[in-house]
Amino acid sequence: MSIQTSGECTLSFSMSKPKTYEKSGYEDLEYVPIGKLNHHKKIEECIEQLSIYFDSCYINDIYELIIEPKNNVYFMLYDLLSLEADEIEINFKRKFIEWVSRSAHKHVTPYWKNWFKRGFKSYLCVNFSDDDLKVIYTKLGNGVNQKLAIKFIESNFDVSLLRNAK
């Protein structure tokens, strides 16, 4: 299945049934076709918007959104399936910030750091400084404070909120 985005990007989704992953925690993963994610299209809309800035992203067969496969940057989508439509966009952005901020702040090579930084800033429509990215990663990276991440998004990405957080 391919989704045409508002840019030149096309996002392809795997429609195959997930494999069984022994001792991985995914043994009971229920197969849900991408087009029927929680009976609404909000997740697809979020992915379409993200794919404008990260055109190599795709969903694998265990519902990980692979942002950039060469660098193994991804986050799980499966926990978004049970959310109501009005909760999905903010939680999608939360997960994006939590799992992509590291690559935008510090990466092994300057090329990839700049690539992630450009996409991170463009997707969120905020011109974060390098110091801002450090604070974002330090306070929110790897999902360390989901409530603070939601507040940060609701504040329209006010980095001073993170700087003042304990």
Q: pLDDT tens for residues 1-57?
A: 343 333 333 333 333 333 333 333 444 444 444 454 544 588 889 999 999 999 989
Could you tell me the two tokens for 42? 């909000």
Of 78-87, 99-108, 110-119, the least confident: 78-87
The string of DSSP letters for 37-63 reads: GGGSSHHHHHHHHHHHH-TT-EE-TTS
Residue range 131-142: average pLDDT? Answer: 97
pLDDT at 104 over 70: yes
Q: Is the pTM of this model over 0.85?
A: no
- Domain carrying residue 35: 2-164
On average, the pLDDT of the chain sits at 81
Q: How many domains does the chain have?
A: 1
